[in-house]
A and B are shown apart, each in its own frame.
Chain A
């Protein structure tokens, strides 16, 4: 590269930054309150668009000037829709409101924006330190997180490149373009960045293999997030796409690729739209295209929509699908860095890996290493679901223990239940018991424990969940998603599922447990690709740590978590049931609840589908509906022939 040309990148970036600052000043010219609304898929699902409309209408009705700012997701799923109101004239700091329904929105416009009362009872916290309202950083859900990748998520408008630029975005790319590619790879290596796609392969190693090759190369951002319980990649793309694009551009420059692709699942329409738009914006501002930021480095970027096959998260399958074939994995080697897309060297990195790249280059490898552990530096992102008080996305330093994550960051087990298990890593991960709660979360410790980082899905199970049932769920998933090429995965997982089905129906026999274990071992050893090799993990770990639960299913027909429906029964405690209350009768979808001769209620076990609706409907002052396992322990309540006849006559 011509040394005289290099300052050009920085000059171009500075010009863009000036433009961004100008746009910000324009927006802020009128000192009006700002309403930030989290509008990623999760927010929209929780009703963010209705909330937004309510704000707009209420503002118009009352003639109040305020600016609505659409932002991405902050990851606090339990609190959606999330709204932050910045109303400096009121004397209050910016306030974080949770679960803002349209009604709440209208109320806030009237009482807070118009009359200056922030309604303390609805406040979650303030986003800055102050002496009036608790600062959100005082809550463990915020203070224990360390946001490196998700820092800008929920702060900036994902559809406006200038907000990203104004927040310091693309500075790492501009600086990188003035650096030798090999130095970038070395810096990433020094930072010890490991691939966030699950396996934790050193990113710099992958890059250096590709950098050492000649000719046309490709770089691909793998956003084919397939784990049914993980959605951090989507959230990042929907909330801060440019950080991912910046990481991808740096990667392309470092390995010498001139074409980059973002492989996003078609099931993520909002992410597809936002990324497509982000690429267009970057192109029109000269950040992508013929000469990236005027450096002379050419980079084209495009979006490829994945068509819904979990196995396409596997590199070789992903490549096959981009080439227009069935997404079936092929044997490695050759690895994609040697022969990938269209036979050319191809680097494939996960969304989180790429989003980690700009902060590393900006703050240096040393700063990155100061977070996390020696072998797994940086942060880990988990989508924590299940029975915790504060489910959602969390970004924590590697090395944080599971206990801290579950009990401190996520608020512990919901409804004051006790902990039973945590399933980490989704369909390829493992199921760990309480004794492992002090395991630090990093690539190697989790593998040692039998789980894996995987996609970052985490299911916390309370005493009311069944480990066998959840493992059956994951296995059913992988079995469905098997590509069907190799014998072990195609047929073996099906046999495992048959046994698990028998277990959850109470039809299994003692030998089935050993069979299941043997099948699991063979499939792990014999399968062609990562999907098959890891598919037995949930079963293997749960057989190791929760064998007594499997045995309860086999020997007693009992489901300890009372989740396997064939093994449970509902009944009504006649002592508690109140005469004349028809709550359970009304809600039963199959008319299984009947009135006894004493005008109390009974459940016809033949008709009951065990949906549990009656248990929910029964007023707490009676609390008469019970769940029991094994099913035959439920007391039988006879239908009254007379009443039945009356009911029939009526009908």
Chain B
């Protein structure tokens, strides 16, 4: 069933129950996001960037978890929404090793795009920078991981699980110390990675790099 909703004053048509974030993006409305992957449901709602305000609901909600319904009125550019988005981005930057010129994702990095869109500096003012040890995880034979670039969007994990049913990538630890670890049980297990590398492609920030040579 097709329904009509209003986003930032624009009337949009969409399938009832479809994902609000996707509907916005398809219609050219920019809603910041990192952890969303089209077609891979349910969303982890982890990055907390895709906030929008819905009329009738008093607090901003993450659009990736909202199914579209008829008559829905959405605002993507309110002070409250922007404040939360900037706050989330600043948090991500406060644990990010901002060394763009030495990063292979330079010029196509989601964090750079977000910072530009939300008008946030790459060095978050007022927050201390907290980086993790070690800087590089080299355990996997073909993939190198930089924990201080990672935004923990889980896109790599979910893509890998979706393709292969299981993954040599996994979250390890808890809370602030959570990191993606890439370890393969045996070298044979890691073999498919060499030809797949889908995880590297979906990483929004260059935290995963294919080892060369």
Direct contact of A and B (CB under 8 A): yes
Q: Which DSSP category, helix, strand, loop or mixed, fits chain B's interface? A: loop
- Asked whether, in the complex, the Cβ of B128 is within 8 Å of the Cβ of A484, the reply is no
Docked Cα-Cα span, A522 to B124, in Å, equals 15
With most chain B CB atoms within 10 A of its CB, the pick from A330, A331, A527 is: A331
Docked Cα-Cα span, A286 to B80, in Å, equals 58
Docked Cα-Cα span, A487 to B87, in Å, equals 9
Docked Cα-Cα span, A484 to B80, in Å, equals 24
With most chain B CB atoms within 10 A of its CB, the pick from A326, A492, A522, A526 is: A526
Docked Cα-Cα span, A309 to B178, in Å, equals 14
What 1/0 flags go to A460-504 for Cβ under 8 Å of B? Answer: 000000000000000000011111111110111111001000000
Residues A515 and B176 in contact in the complex (CB < 8 Å), given A326-B171, A491-B92, A495-B91: no
B152: CB under 8 A from chain A?
yes
A528: CB under 8 A from chain B?
yes
Residues A488 and B48 in contact in the complex (CB < 8 Å), given A481-B175, A482-B174: yes
- Asked whether, in the complex, the Cβ of A483 is within 8 Å of the Cβ of B48, the reply is no
Nearest B residue (CB) for A497: B176
Docked Cα-Cα span, A480 to B43, in Å, equals 25
CB distance from B49 to the nearest CB of A (A): 8
Docked Cα-Cα span, A481 to B178, in Å, equals 11
- Asked whether, in the complex, the Cβ of A330 is within 8 Å of the Cβ of B176, the reply is no
Tally of contacts, chain A with chain B, CB under 8 A: 90
Docked Cα-Cα span, A309 to B46, in Å, equals 19
CB-defined contacts of B84 to chain A, threshold 8 Å: 522, 525-526
A621: CB under 8 A from chain B?
no
CB-defined contacts of B92 to chain A, threshold 8 Å: 487, 491
B126: CB under 8 A from chain A?
yes
Q: Which DSSP category, helix, strand, loop or mixed, fits chain A's interface? A: helix
- Asked whether, in the complex, the Cβ of A483 is within 8 Å of the Cβ of B175, the reply is yes
Residues A525 and B59 in contact in the complex (CB < 8 Å), given A330-B44, A479-B176, A494-B176: yes
- Asked whether, in the complex, the Cβ of A526 is within 8 Å of the Cβ of B127, the reply is no
Docked Cα-Cα span, A331 to B62, in Å, equals 10
Residues A484 and B152 in contact in the complex (CB < 8 Å), given A326-B171, A522-B83: yes
Docked Cα-Cα span, A515 to B128, in Å, equals 12
B60: CB under 8 A from chain A?
yes
CB distance from B193 to the nearest CB of A (A): 22
Partner of B45, one of A481, A492, A495, A528: A528
A511: CB under 8 A from chain B?
yes
What 1/0 flags go to A377-411 for Cβ under 8 Å of B? Answer: 00000000000000000000000000000000000
Partner of A484, one of B42, B59, B62, B178: B178
CB distance from B96 to the nearest CB of A (A): 10
- Asked whether, in the complex, the Cβ of B42 is within 8 Å of the Cβ of A330, the reply is yes
Docked Cα-Cα span, A526 to B61, in Å, equals 8
Total residues of chain B contacting the partner, CB 8 A: 35
CB-defined contacts of A491 to chain B, threshold 8 Å: 91-92, 94-95, 176
Nearest A residue (CB) for B80: A525
CB-defined contacts of B95 to chain A, threshold 8 Å: 491
Docked Cα-Cα span, A483 to B178, in Å, equals 8
- Asked whether, in the complex, the Cβ of A487 is within 8 Å of the Cβ of B91, the reply is yes
B1: CB under 8 A from chain A?
no
CB-defined contacts of B142 to chain A, threshold 8 Å: none
B146: CB under 8 A from chain A?
no
CB distance from B125 to the nearest CB of A (A): 10
Residues A482 and B176 in contact in the complex (CB < 8 Å), given A331-B42, A494-B130, A527-B48: yes
CB-defined contacts of B51 to chain A, threshold 8 Å: 526
CB-defined contacts of A490 to chain B, threshold 8 Å: 152, 175-176, 178
Docked Cα-Cα span, A498 to B92, in Å, equals 16
Docked Cα-Cα span, A486 to B45, in Å, equals 7
With most chain B CB atoms within 10 A of its CB, the pick from A326, A482, A494 is: A494
Nearest B residue (CB) for A491: B91
What 1/0 flags go to B46-85 for Cβ under 8 Å of A? Answer: 1111010000000110100100000000000000100110
CB-defined contacts of A493 to chain B, threshold 8 Å: 176
B25: CB under 8 A from chain A?
no
Docked Cα-Cα span, A493 to B87, in Å, equals 12
- Asked whether, in the complex, the Cβ of A331 is within 8 Å of the Cβ of B127, the reply is no
- Asked whether, in the complex, the Cβ of A482 is within 8 Å of the Cβ of B175, the reply is yes
Q: Which residues 554-579 of A sit at the B interface, judged by CB distance below 8 A?
A: none
Nearest A residue (CB) for B47: A487
CB distance from A535 to the nearest CB of B (A): 11
Docked Cα-Cα span, A481 to B44, in Å, equals 19
CB distance from A517 to the nearest CB of B (A): 12
CB distance from B199 to the nearest CB of A (A): 18
CB-defined contacts of B47 to chain A, threshold 8 Å: 486-487
Beyond A487-B46, A490-B175, 15 additional contacts (C-beta under 8 Å) are A309-B174, A482-B175, A483-B178, A484-B152, A484-B175, A485-B46, A485-B152, A491-B92, A491-B95, A495-B91, A495-B94, A495-B128, A511-B126, A522-B84, A528-B48
- 20 contacts across the A-B interface (CB closer than 8 A): A330-B44, A331-B62, A481-B174, A482-B176, A483-B178, A484-B173, A484-B175, A485-B44, A485-B152, A487-B48, A487-B88, A488-B48, A491-B92, A495-B91, A522-B84, A522-B87, A525-B84, A526-B87, A528-B45, A528-B46
| The 7 nearest A-B residue pairs measured at CB | A484-B178, A491-B91, A482-B175, A522-B87, A331-B45, A484-B175, A487-B48
